[in-house]
Amino acid sequence: MTLIPPNPPARTDKPLVSNDLRRRGIYLVPNALTTAALFAGFYAIVQAMNQRFEYAAIAIFIAMVLDGLDGRVARLTNTQSAFGAEYDSLSDMVSFGVAPALVVYEWSLRGLGKVGWIAAFIYCVGAALRLARFNTNMGVTDKRYFQGLPSPAAAALIGGFVWVLLDLEVPGEDARWVACGLTIFAGMTMISNIPYWSGKAINLKKSVPFVGVAAIALGFAFVSFYPPGVLFALFFGYALSGYLVFLWRWRNKPK
Residue 14 domain-assigned (yes or no)? no
Q: What is the pLDDT of residue 199?
A: 73
| Number of domains present in the structure of the chain | 1
The answer to whether 169 and 215 have CB atoms below 8 angstroms apart is no
Q: What is the pLDDT of residue 57?
A: 96
Residue 16 domain-assigned (yes or no)? no
Range of the domain at 168: 29-251
Helix, strand or coil, per DSSP, at residue 78: coil
Mean pLDDT of 65-75: 86
Query: pLDDT digits over 225-253, tens only?
Result: 888 999 999 999 999 999 998 888 888 87
How far, in Å, CA of 158 to CA of 154, rounded? 6
How far, in Å, CA of 27 to CA of 120, rounded? 35
Amino acid (one-letter) located at 209: P
Residue 20 domain-assigned (yes or no)? no
Cα pseudo-dihedral 94, 132, 120, 223, rounded to 10: 60
Q: At what angle do helices 82-93 and 53-76 cross, to 10 degrees?
A: 170
Band of pLDDT at residue 2, cut at 50, 70 and 90: very low
Residue 11 domain-assigned (yes or no)? no
Residues 28-47 as b or e (16 or more Cβ within 10 Å = b)? eebbebbebbbbbbbbbbeb
What distance, in Å, lies between the first and last C-alpha atoms of the chain?
89
Mean pLDDT of 62-85: 85
The answer to whether 232 and 160 have CB atoms below 8 angstroms apart is yes
Nearest residue to 55 via CA among 64, 46, 67 = 46
Q: What is the pLDDT of residue 144?
A: 79
How far, in Å, CA of 35 to CA of 29, rounded? 10
Q: What is the pLDDT of residue 84?
A: 85
Amino acid (one-letter) located at 226: Y
Q: What is the pLDDT of residue 207?
A: 66
Residue 172 domain-assigned (yes or no)? yes
Nearest residue to 149 via CA among 182, 117, 175, 107 = 182
Most confident of the following: 14-28, 56-70, 206-220:
56-70
Mean pLDDT of 193-203: 78
Q: 234: burial class by Cβ within 10 Å (0-12, 13-18, 19+)? A: middle
CA 119, 121, 123, 129 torsion-angle sign:
negative
Band of pLDDT at residue 135, cut at 50, 70 and 90: confident
pLDDT at 13 over 50: no
Residue 203 domain-assigned (yes or no)? yes
Q: ∠ CA 180-186-190 to the nearest 5 degrees?
A: 150
Q: What is the pLDDT of residue 107?
A: 95
pLDDT at 201 over 80: no
Residue 18 domain-assigned (yes or no)? no
Residue 3 domain-assigned (yes or no)? no
The answer to whether 100 and 154 have CB atoms below 8 angstroms apart is yes
pLDDT at 181 over 90: yes
Q: What is the pLDDT of residue 17?
A: 39
CATH number at residue 229: 1.20.120.1760
How far, in Å, CA of 179 to CA of 185, rounded? 10
